[in-house]
Copies of this chain bind each other. A is one copy, B any other.
Amino acid sequence: MARNAEKDQALREKRLNHLLDCALEVIAVKGIGAVSISDIAAAAKISVGNVYHYFKSKDEIFDEILKRGQTAYGEFVTHTASLDLPALEKLHLICSSWLSVRNHWAHTILIHSARLAETSLPGTRSQVTERFTRNLLPVSAIIEQGQREGAVIDGDPLELAFYLVSLIQGLTLQRVPGAEVQAPIRVDGVLKLLDKRNRI
């Protein structure tokens, strides 16, 4: 009668991921701050009380979403950096992915909300920031590659990476549904800011 412990664990993992997916979805729709536990529970079609069998608190849910999102982004950037491509093409891949996928949008919102809010879990903010900083490194490496290729303007690669990512995030925030700034956002346009060649 006893279940396989391993299988149980896998099942739990799966439900947990489902819960986080639903939470992110509902955050994207209602906006963080307006999202309650019961919203999340309803989205995942489980009961309010049951949410607490998977997470200790609401903040832990947000923490987990952030961790997942930033980790996935970090892996994507690291992988992109390792490709055999010119630097500008790599950056193009990264920027267009970031600006196009809806989940990235929600994550950006969450990252900034987590920073802006007085979240109760003390570590959240510093962890978010730390992961953010760590994720700058692959981008910085790409930029360094671009400088070696003569394709990217001079300057401290980490600083430039920081500017690029901040710009992308800034642009993402201009696209909040219901408050879209009416100005074009084009990846090519953004990358020209770093492009050394077409200036002269």
Q: Please report A residues at the B interface, Cβ cutoff 8 Å.
A: 30-34, 109, 112-113, 115-118, 125-126, 128-129, 132-133, 136, 153-156, 158-160, 162-163, 165-171, 173-174, 176, 178-186, 189-190, 192-194, 196, 198-200
Contacts and interface: CB of A to CB of B under 8 A. Distances in A.
Nearest to A34: B118
Contact of A162 (B153, B166, B183): B183
A179 B31 contact: no
B117 A181 contact: no
> Within the oligomer, what is the number of copies of this chain?
4
A179 B128 contact: yes
Given A31-B116, A117-B31, A118-B30, A163 B153 contact: no
A137 B190 CA distance: 19
Contact of A189 (B31, B116, B155, B165): B155
A109 B118 contact: no
Contacts of A31: 116-118
Q: Which 4 A-B residue pairs are closest in the complex by CB-CB distance?
A: A170-B170, A166-B170, A34-B118, A167-B167
A186 B179 CA distance: 29
Contacts of A132: 174, 181
A186 B163 CA distance: 10
A4 B117 CA distance: 39
A133 B182 contact: yes
B184 A173 contact: no
Nearest to A116: B31
